[in-house]
Chain A
């Protein structure tokens, strides 16, 4: 089956279950909005789906293939734009991007990629000198080096100005148009709902609500 299928996913940190009995599907061409309070397990779920952490129970299948077991071959198809920027502070923006391009195996016009995220004029400045928003933009450029099948956005609008938010919105639409399954986790449901068909609300590591993204609860859970 094409798409992402998560069944009975559970993750434990020591004695505490960070996720339990989480099941959902993102069908071909689909996009999921992930909501929930701080500590509800959203980031843990996305880190699981990015194969950054293993799960203790359940299964995750991407286009029918087990994500964790086949992670060596599936990782090039999974991209995450999350809290960690993955940057080296001592390197310039261009050096950061060139290094990641080399490691991912992409060879193309890096200046155009910097321009795409609004950093054309600051490519030679070290990442250390960047504001939080500029670092996020550079991290977005790094994420876009992959052409993902599964694109994960964890709080993608954080630390960004209006222009930056518009850029991220464009990028989400762009990767969806390229055929990626997308999951957007945000505390801004109105903004997230513009890009997603379905929504899932997590509460204390469990699915508390699911339905159409347009109907997702904006405040307290029903």
Chain B
């Protein structure tokens, strides 16, 4: 079986679990929405709120991703399924690629639902082309999912995993938050200086580093130490 086929089967399993337990996905969306709403209430000035729309969208996605990553490993550890996959044997790189891909797909769906709500709530101008926002959401969410899956894998088996995960994950993805937030703000306000391309390149570079790194390092995360 090729690595990609194995990864596709892991991703399919992840998405099937999410589909069968849709309450978790809905909960994730409402969690992110609550953050956006609370943020909107805390900033009563509309012009300022418009400027913060891009950053707020990504803050909502980021915090939702921390919850989603935690859940993604919790279901694996409940009855030893992760160890079972390693012993099956499924290659650790395939487990990483499958889980990270499924996490990215979940985050893109949450982001796609949140984006119109941000536009409605924060009332920013929307000067960019829709496909650019779609590309931004994809690059940003894949940029969160890859390092998030590595960190969640590391912390999952530690005591106090749900506290440890955000402590390690959030600082790691600051470049993604920065680049995606700025690029989205530029998308809202218009981009006469072509700044979005640079932020997109940064996101691309972040992805180019963390996806192969995760595939290489994940054996150290899930394999028993010898």
Contact = CB atoms under 8 A, between A and B. Distances in A.
A126 B80 contact: no
A75 B226 contact: no
28 contacts: A50-B87, A52-B224, A54-B225, A54-B226, A71-B89, A72-B89, A75-B87, A78-B87, A85-B80, A86-B79, A86-B80, A87-B81, A90-B17, A90-B20, A91-B13, A91-B16, A91-B17, A91-B20, A99-B12, A100-B84, A102-B9, A102-B13, A103-B90, A104-B88, A105-B1, A126-B20, A135-B79, A142-B84
Contacts of A86: 79-81, 83-84
B225 A103 contact: no
Interface in B68-87: 75, 78-81, 83-87
A157 interface: no
Given A84-B79, A89-B79, A90-B20, A75 B9 contact: no
A51 interface: yes
A84 B10 contact: no
B123 interface: no
A80 interface: yes
A47 B89 CA distance: 15
Interface of B: 1, 6, 9-10, 12-13, 16-17, 20-21, 75, 78-81, 83-90, 224-226
Interface of A: 50-54, 68, 71-72, 75-76, 78, 80, 84-92, 95, 99-100, 102-105, 126, 135, 142
B224 A53 contact: yes
Nearest to B21: A90
Contact of A54 (B10, B20, B87, B224): B224
A88 B12 CA distance: 13
B16 A95 contact: yes
Given A75-B87, A86-B81, A99 B9 contact: yes
A50 B88 CA distance: 10
Given A51-B87, A75-B87, A103-B6, A84 B80 contact: yes
B115 to A, nearest CB: 28
B75 A90 contact: yes
A142 B9 CA distance: 16
B221 to A, nearest CB: 15
A76 B85 CA distance: 11
A102 B83 CA distance: 16
B1, B80, B225, most chain A CB atoms within 10 A: B80
A103 to B, nearest CB: 5
Contacts of A95: 16, 20
B226 A87 contact: no
A88 B87 contact: no
A95 B21 CA distance: 13
B78 A89 contact: yes
A93 B83 CA distance: 19
B160 to A, nearest CB: 19
